[in-house]
Chain A
Amino acid sequence: MKSQKSKNTLATVMLIVLFTILAILIIIPIYTIFLASFKPGGDLLQYGLNLGIDWSRMSLDNYSLLFTGQHEYWRWFTNSIILTVVTVVATLLVSAFVGYGFAAYEFKGKNALFVVVLLILSIPLEVVMLPLYKQMTSWGLMDSYMAIVLPFVAHASTIFFFRQYLLGLPKSLLEAGRIDGATEYGIFFRLIIPIMKPAFAAMAILNGMNAWNNYLWPLLVIRSSDKYTLTLGLNTLINPYGDNYSLLIVGSFFSIIPIFILFVCFQQYFIEGMTAGAVKE
């Protein structure tokens, strides 16, 4: 009995060692960019990213460039925040509205339409990207945030998640609402939305992460540099002129921070949001 116990302790220690090594490997790339944010941008071109620390060459210069220098970084940052907030609010409202329709009612054509939700879940956006791009041009929506947000407000995977979440909803709640004289839409806005808070939180984070990091579609749609988002803007710094590399590295590192703070605060929801589709099938 005792030997079994010490065997288990040994196994636990080995597991902890294994997972600590894995954690260190995962942290290394972030650590290298954190270190690099204190090194001159030119060094990066010359030496690449590594774990070397040369105190004589490290300084806060990149940070003072980030906060006080002449560049567009904060405009991109603001644009990204605006776009992310608008995307999240619009997507959540519209997708919850639709998801509720699928969960609460029986109607003709419902199953066929739900199959379409599942189908769209498995089609890469890249397939429709070019014709959609052409369409946006002819509608004059090019170079507008509308073109980034509008096609995805009724978002298939978000609808799927809300529908799964609302399936367990007691129908008596809806009946009670009707008896109280609420309209069908009133029931959704006054009774359902308040009880969906956890689902909203999970999807807000997931959609927020995607919007913050979105690249390819905005790259096609956005033309004028004053509308650049953070990912688009950072990528313009890839050509190593002047201070570009200093700003690229410190800016890249800094761009992780807002989403990281959100993650730390709402970790549980992050994890729920990410795993939502995996269990319920």
Chain B
Amino acid sequence: MKKLFYSQKLAPYVFVLPFALTVVIFWLFPIGNGVLLSFQDVLKKEWVGLGNYQRLLSDKIFLKAVYNSAKYMVGTLVLLIPFPMLFATLLNSKLMKKPGLFKSVYFVPALTSVVVAGTIFRLMFGEMDTSLANQIIAAFGISPIKWLKGEWTSYFALLLLACWRWTGVNILYFLAGLQSISTDIYEAASIDGASKWQQFVKISFPLVKPTTVYVLTISIYAGLSMFTESYMLWKGNNSPQNIGLTIVGYLYRQGIEKRAMGYACAVGLILLIIVMAVNLVQLKATGTFDKEER
């Protein structure tokens, strides 16, 4: 027995055992359980078939949550991919001799927890005319706004919070991608008379694609499963007309606050399906699958 344990044949399985156990106990089992629960009314202890799902599809608040999460994800994709890519390209150019200090400063917001960052932004976007956001717009002659009570003004605050925390991190991702491109290619291109812009479009952009796909994948995941940012900005899970409610916020409200575990599990599984579907489309569109088949 002892000999078998130490054999080269069995050892690899011992090495991966902790992961296999984790998958079974903490992923497969809960997902399976979640599927079963999603067909039940847990409070009444009865099976309801697809009832929870049917209810969800006509649940206006849930649809609002899906809309909010999707809107947030789209906003983060639009702001947190092109700009960091551009900034990284500029930081990486020979014109910038010491980008190190900038890189470190841009990274600092990622060190703050969402709890702290959300509190800071909630107070910066306060309703009083002395809050920072209202002071800034006052300089342009605009009267104070109740930022976190309006749909689009609060969307702006949420996106600004996301940009503040993640711009620096995404710059680092793109910098790492750009630095793996050989400088010879750029030299050859500039000898052939390609402008900086042409070099960016024809060389940097296509060659940094694996990084872009990676950032895209994690941004979709993070955008659709956002919760804490909104929980902090509105001091809890309730926002006026649910302008800050996300899919996970709704899952939390149903499962934890209202104890409707079955209904909440259906929300979780729909989230899983949405994330998987969006990422499949994205990986297909960016041609990531084709590359792996080759």
CB <8 Å contact, A50 and B214: no
B87 → chain A closest CB, angstroms = 7
Q: How many whole Å from B31's CB to the nearest CB in chain A?
A: 6
- Are A128 and B27 interface neighbours, CB within 8 A? yes
- The interface stretch among A59-67, A193-201, A211-219 is A211-219
Chain A residues in 8 Å Cβ range of B33 = 131, 134-135
Set B7, B19, B235: member contacting A113, Cβ < 8 A: B19
Q: Which of B103, B120, B228, B235 has the most CB of A within 10 A?
A: B120
B178 — nearest CB in chain A belongs to which residue? A279
Is B119 in contact with chain A by the CB < 8 A criterion?
yes
- B23 interface residue, CB < 8 Å from A? yes
B180 interface contact, C-beta 8 A = yes
Question: Does B50 have its Cβ within 8 Å of any Cβ on chain A?
Answer: no
Q: A29-B120, A128-B34, A275-B176 are in contact. Are A113 and B16 (CB under 8 A)?
A: yes
Size of interface on A: residues with Cβ below 8 Å to B: 91
Contact yes or no, A48 B124, CB < 8 A = yes
Among the listed stretches B59-67, B74-82, B267-275, which one makes contact with chain A, having 4 or more residues with CB under 8 Å of it? B267-275
The yes or no answer to B121 lying at the interface (CB within 8 A) is: yes
Which residues from A are CB-within-8-Å of B105?
Answer: 23, 26-27
Considering only residues 165-207 of chain B, those with a C-beta below 8 Å from chain A are: 167-169, 172-173, 175-177, 180
Residues of A within 8 A of B132 (CB): 28, 32, 48-51
B123/A48 in contact, CB under 8 A: yes
Min CB distance A198 to B, Å, is 15
Complex contact A30–B26 (CB within 8 A): no
If over half of B's interface residues share one DSSP class (helix, strand or loop), that class is named, otherwise mixed; here it is helix
- Is A8 touching B95 in the complex (CB atoms < 8 A)? yes
Whether B20 pairs with A124 at a CB distance below 8 angstroms is no
B18, B34, B106, B108: which contacts A127 (Cβ < 8 A)? B34
Cα(A130)–Cα(B269), bound, Å: 11
Check B173–A274 contact: CB distance below 8 A: yes
Asked whether any CB of chain A lies closer than 8 Å to the CB of B158, the reply is: no
**Chain B CB within 8 A of A271 CB:** yes
Does A77 make an interface contact (CB < 8 A)? no
Which 3 A-B pairs give the minimum distances between C-beta atoms?
A101-B15, A48-B126, A48-B131
